[in-house]
Amino acid sequence: MATDKGATAGPPPKESRVRPQTAGRATPARPSGPPVVKRIQKYYGEVMTELRKAIWPSRTELRAQTQVVLGVLVAIGVSVALFDTVLGVAVNLLLRLVGAGR
């Protein structure tokens, strides 16, 4: 059986390839959609709508929640300081036992 060498599959020669027409274009395409100012206004309007839906705490609720947060912060600070002190003393005792202490 004879095969036709011209019918082999493969890429076409460089001369027959089509070049894209956009290569010489100097101006970039414009983005589609509304202008920036209108998008900002829409976003601001949506934010204000969502903020009106929010349930804000009363002054007494806000004060009570703030006191709880500050109390928890103080408790955590004291516990970290206490743990640091105990761990420091333990490490110093261990170093003295080994002979590397002061």
In the block, residue with structure tokens 């743990």? 83
**What pLDDT, in 10s, does the model give residues 61-102?**
999 999 999 999 999 999 999 999 999 999 999 999 988 755
Q: Between the CA atoms of 87, 91, 97 and 102, what dihedral angle is there, to the nearest 10 degrees?
A: -120
Query: Which residue range is the domain that position 99 belongs to?
Result: 58-102
Residue 77 lies in a domain: yes
Residue 36 lies in a domain: no
In the block, residue with structure tokens 């900002």? 40
Residue 73 lies in a domain: yes
Residue 12 lies in a domain: no
d(CA 45, CA 62): 27
Residue 53 lies in a domain: no
**What pLDDT, in 10s, does the model give residues 22-57?**
555 556 566 666 788 899 999 999 999 999 999 989
C-beta of residue 70 within 8 angstroms of C-beta of residue 61: no
Q: Looking at the whole model, is its pTM more than 0.75?
A: no
Instruction: Count up the domains in the chain and report the number.
Output: 1
Confidence at residue 49, expressed as pLDDT on a 0 to 100 scale? 94
